[in-house]
Amino acid sequence: MPANGSSDSNGLWGFKDKTKMATLQQLIQPVQPKTDDTNNKVTVVGTGQVGMAAVFAMLTQGVTNNIALVDVMENKLKGEMMDLQHGSAFMKNAKIQASTDYAITAFSKICVVTAGVRQREGESRLALVQRNTDVLKRIIPKLVQYSPDTILIIASNPVDILTYVSWKLSGLPKHRVIGSGTNLDSARFRYLLSEKLSVAATSCHGYIIGEHGDSSVPIWSGVNVAGVRFCDLNQRIGTETDPENWNELHEMVVRSAYEVIRLKGYTSWAIGLSLSQLARAILTNANSVHPVSTYVMGEHGIDEEVFLSLPCVLGQNGVSDVIRQPLTEIELALLQKSALVMSAVQIGIIF
């Protein structure tokens, strides 16, 4: 810390008695008060592996230059803030604040929530959901209090259920509460396709929808390169009787999260990039299509009030449209089963 420096309540390093310094008075003639507004402020709650990977991606990809960090671990928060601020000369006018006080999040365009507790040994899914609901109860109302027009992007797991919980806790309209959902699963899928075909992942198209994780649903009917649908070349693609066993790719997608966690303890870079992509779509009003967790009651014969991933058009208002993919009977059944399972878990949540 500089000898004459101090940390103010915003977590910014301020210098005392600025106005009285003769050198400053000689150098700078104030004309107008400065404003803090950059019109692209993003709050990230949870400065763990996922939160910081998202922040780093957003800052270095130029998605935002205005970040507010919130966590309960004060030292970690301050350390992350300072470390990023020291990179200011390498970024484009980054403004980075950090505090345990939600006042710094005021007027955020987007609030990304990556705070959460991990599963304890022997802990049931419902028990984890309840513990994370209790965490969200301390976060979501404060975010909405300071940024009533914000769009929430939830990454904490189990992401589909916690997106529902956040929607309930926030009182925001459903199009402004989004779960990162299967945007990551779909990216993993496209990477594996690209490895198999030796074609860039950006040119391999395919969607994984439904529940993020184990029971996600790959939509084989839409997988294509340059508009050439694989299902037109191999009618049994994705089925158990497919002699080429393409479904192995989806199994690898599901396994790959566990594999990364086994090897490095957590996943971070890919989910960070995924969150950055979603934030960019919203901040630039892109109207681009991403598989994200959204309110799906009424879609694909789903009767439950649940959030699952479907391809959504994202722009400055959040989700503007849901794209209706034609699904096979098997895909529909899998999606509807996930909805039932999630609805059963949600019934047990105490708000």
User: Does residue 47 interact with ligand NAD by CB under 6 A?
Assistant: yes
Q: Which stretch binds ligand NAD (CB under 6 A): 43-51, 226-234, 279-287, 318-326?
A: 43-51
Find the shortest distance in angstroms from Cβ 34 to ligand NAD: 29
According to CB under 6 A, which one of 43, 44, 48, 292 is a site residue for ligand NAD? Answer: 48
Residues 293-318, buried b or exposed e (16+ Cβ, 10 A)?
bbbbeeebebebbbbbbbbbbbbeeb
User: Does residue 208 interact with ligand NAD by CB under 6 A?
Assistant: no
User: Does residue 254 interact with ligand NAD by CB under 6 A?
Assistant: no
Among 213, 216, 291, CA closest to 258 = 213
User: Does residue 57 interact with ligand NAD by CB under 6 A?
Assistant: no
According to CB under 6 A, which one of 11, 51, 210, 315 is a site residue for ligand NAD? Answer: 51
Other Cβ atoms less than 10 A from the Cβ of 23: the count is: 7
According to CB under 6 A, which one of 46, 206, 210, 318 is a site residue for ligand NAD? Answer: 46
Residue with tokens 């980054």: 94
Return the residue nearest ligand NAD (CB atom). Answer: 48
Map residue 253 onto helix, strand or coil.
helix
Q: Which stretch binds ligand NAD (CB under 6 A): 14-22, 155-163, 281-289, 315-323?
A: 155-163
User: Does residue 157 interact with ligand NAD by CB under 6 A?
Assistant: yes
Map residue 284 onto helix, strand or coil.
coil
Q: Which residues contact 24 (CB under 8 A, 6 or more apart)?
A: 18
**67 to each of 77, 97, 107, 156, 218, how far by Cα in Å?**
13, 6, 11, 19, 34
Q: Are 316 and 278 in contact, with CB atoms under 8 Å apart?
A: no
For ligand NAD, give the closer residue by CB, 232 or 259: 259
Cis before 158? omega within 30? yes
Find the shortest distance in angstroms from Cβ 52 to ligand NAD: 8
Q: What is the C-alpha separation between 177 and 65, in angstroms, rounded?
A: 22
What string marks each residue from 309 to 338 as x (binds ligand NAD by CB under 6 A) or -?
------------------------------
Number of residues that make up the chain:
351
Map residue 338 onto helix, strand or coil.
helix
* Residues binding ligand NAD: number (CB under 6 A): 27
Task: Confirm whether 212 is a catalytic residue.
Answer: yes
Annotated catalytic residue: which of 212, 250, 290, 300?
212
Q: Which stretch binds ligand NAD (CB under 6 A): 20-28, 42-50, 232-240, 315-323?
A: 42-50
What string marks each residue from 104 to 143 as x (binds ligand NAD by CB under 6 A) or -?
----------xxx------------------x--xx----
Among 57, 93, 110, 51, CA closest to 76 = 51
Interface residues toward ligand NAD, by CB under 6 A: 45-51, 70-73, 114-116, 135, 138-139, 155-157, 159, 180, 184, 212, 266-267, 271
